[in-house]
Structure formats: C-alpha cells, structure tokens
Structure 1
Amino acid sequence: MAEAKTKPTSLSVESYLSAIVDSARRADCETLVKLMSKTSKQPAVMWGTAIVGFGTHKYPLAGGKFGEICAVGFSSRKGDISIYGVAGEGVDSGLMLQLGKHKLGKGCLYVAKLADVDLKVLEKLVAEAVRAKQVLHNGPLDD
C-alpha cells in the first residue's frame, strides 16, 4: 500500500499563512486558525504543504488497516477556502442552513470569505465535528 501523501509535517503554519498574498484571505485564514485551535483544543499543524490541520482523525481502511487525516482543517485554495472535516455525512443540516453563503463538496465546505458566513455557526460545526470524531474513537483525537 502506498504511503499517505497528506500527513503531519514540521512545516511552519506561520510561514504558510504569511505566504498568502491577498491580505483579506490571509486575515480570514488567521481567524480560522484561532477558531479551530480554540474549538478543537488542538494546535495548528501543517498536513502536507497546504493544509492547516487540528487533531488527528483515524479511519478504517480495507484489510484492517487505518488511515489518518486531520480531524478538522482548512486550506487557502485558488478560488475559495476549503474547510475540511465539518461537512458530509451526519452534519446538522439546520446549522448548514444558518451558515451563510457556502458550497459543499464531498466532505468539504467551501467559502469565498469568512464575511459570507456566520462564525458562531462555523464554530458549532467545528465543535460537532470534533466531538463526533472523539465519540467514534472513544477517546481524545490523538489516540
């Protein structure tokens, strides 16, 4: 089996953020670091070269093996900010309706800018995602 490409690295979150050219996008990403750190109670860690992640989510693979990815995280992409771990199966659809302007992909939430969404609702989505992943594994995120 091939080794996962997206895994925690020693790259600097601060360097990643400071390299974001658009000052408004950089400020949005700095806000997401604060919101996700506070809500997940996990430090920001670079996963690969472009995902800022919080905690670890282990999930089953075929043959009794496990994969892992950040429990929640985000990445500044060309068009939008991709927010990982808060969308998909089991998400409170009522909260999604209250969130504001966003798009959904397979397990991904896309926002153009944080001003388009209600940050309190986003914080609840992050909290629910973290709680659901802890319950799934019957323990802290970094087991």
Structure 2
Amino acid sequence: MYELKTKETDHSVLEFIENVDNPKKREDAYRLLDIFTETTGYEAKMWGPSIIGFGSYHYKYATGHEGDAALVGFSPRKGKISLYFAPGDEKREELLARFGKHTTGKACVYINKVADIDVGVLNEMIVQSIAFLRKTYPEQ
C-alpha cells in the first residue's frame, strides 16, 4: 500500500529555518513564515522534512486514494523557494499574472526571493487557495 511521504511532523519549524544555509533565503523564509501565519491564522507545521505548511485538509479521490495535506505552504529549497497552493483553481492564473517574477509547476509556484513578488497578491493567493480547497474538500 502506498504511504504518503509528506505528512505533518513534530519537527521544529524555527529549527528547520535556522538550518537553511543561504542567509538571504533564511531571511526570506522568516518573512514568508510571518506572511503565511498572519494570512492563514494557522500555526506553521513541518510537513515531511522540508515543507512548512499551514492548516490541513483531508482529500479523497475517485480512485479511492486519500490522505491529508497542508492547505498552503512553502519550502526554502537550495535553488528556489517553492510556494504550495491549490492547483485547480481558475483564479490562480489571474493572480499569477500580477504576482511578479516566478515560474510554475503543477501545484508549486517557484520564486527566487520575496523581493521579486507582490506580497499583496501572495496574500490573495493564500486566501484563494484555502477557500478553493475548503470548497472542494469540505470537512466530513
């Protein structure tokens, strides 16, 4: 049976951030921690070894696969900072057009540094992603 790798853990978020090698990336991680905490109202938790997540939801696909995931989150990776939002929302593209310098993956938005983006749009993306996930996966 498939075991989810990215599960909520009891590891320290602050300890994780303190171990980020690049001082600028560490500074951005603290800034993002403040932004996500203030915007979501959730306490930051580690999800797996490297994702800082906020809130959670339970998903169940038509295939029967189910699990829990963070509503939103980020990870200060070596190359870029990964931001995690809901991938299926149509408003996401409109927000990304105003976001600033970034690249995208399926569920990730990648940035080099916080100074490259519009923090107001980041707040909108966080709120929009949570609303989309709460609507898509209402708590049972």
Normalising by structure 2, what TM-score? 0.91
Q: Identity rate of aligned residues, in percent?
A: 35
Instruction: Find the aligned partners of 1:91 and 1:40 in 2 and give their Cα distance.
Output: 20
**In the alignment, which residue of structure 1 is the partner of 2:107?**
107
Structure 1 window deviating more from structure 2 (129-138 vs 28-37): it is 129-138
Query: Residues 138 and 116 of structure 1: is their aligned pair in 2 closer, same or farther, counting only changes over 3 Å?
Result: same
Equivalences for residues 2-81 of structure 1 within 5 A: 2-81=2-81
* Aligned pairs, number: 139
Instruction: Find the aligned partners of 1:91 and 1:20 in 2 and give their Cα distance.
Output: 33
Query: Residues 62 and 136 of structure 1: is their aligned pair in 2 closer, same or farther, counting only changes over 3 Å?
Result: closer
> Which sections of structure 1, spanning at least 5 residues, go unmatched?
none
Instruction: Find the aligned partners of 2:9 and 2:56 in 1 and give their Cα distance.
Output: 13
Shift of 1:61: 3.2
Deviation sequence 1:48-101 (CA, Å, 0-9, x none): 110100011222135534211111011111210001125x22142221111000
Instruction: Find the aligned partners of 1:113 and 1:91 in 2 and give their Cα distance.
Output: 25
Normalising by structure 1, what TM-score? 0.89
Instruction: Find the aligned partners of 1:45 and 1:120 in 2 and give their Cα distance.
Output: 23
Structure 1 window deviating more from structure 2 (88-97 vs 102-111): it is 88-97
Contact 1:61–1:67 at 8 Å: present in 2 too?
no
Contact 2:59–2:137 at 8 Å: present in 1 too?
no
- Answering whether residue 80 of structure 2 is matched by residue 89 of structure 1, we say no
SS in 1 for 2:89: coil
Contact 1:82–1:110 at 8 Å: present in 2 too?
yes
Contact 2:89–2:129 at 8 Å: present in 1 too?
no
**In the alignment, which residue of structure 1 is the partner of 2:124?**
124
Deviation above 4 Å: which 4+ runs of structure 1?
Answer: none
RMSD between superposed Cα atoms in Å? 1.6
**In the alignment, which residue of structure 1 is the partner of 2:135?**
135
> Which sections of structure 2, spanning at least 5 residues, go unmatched?
none
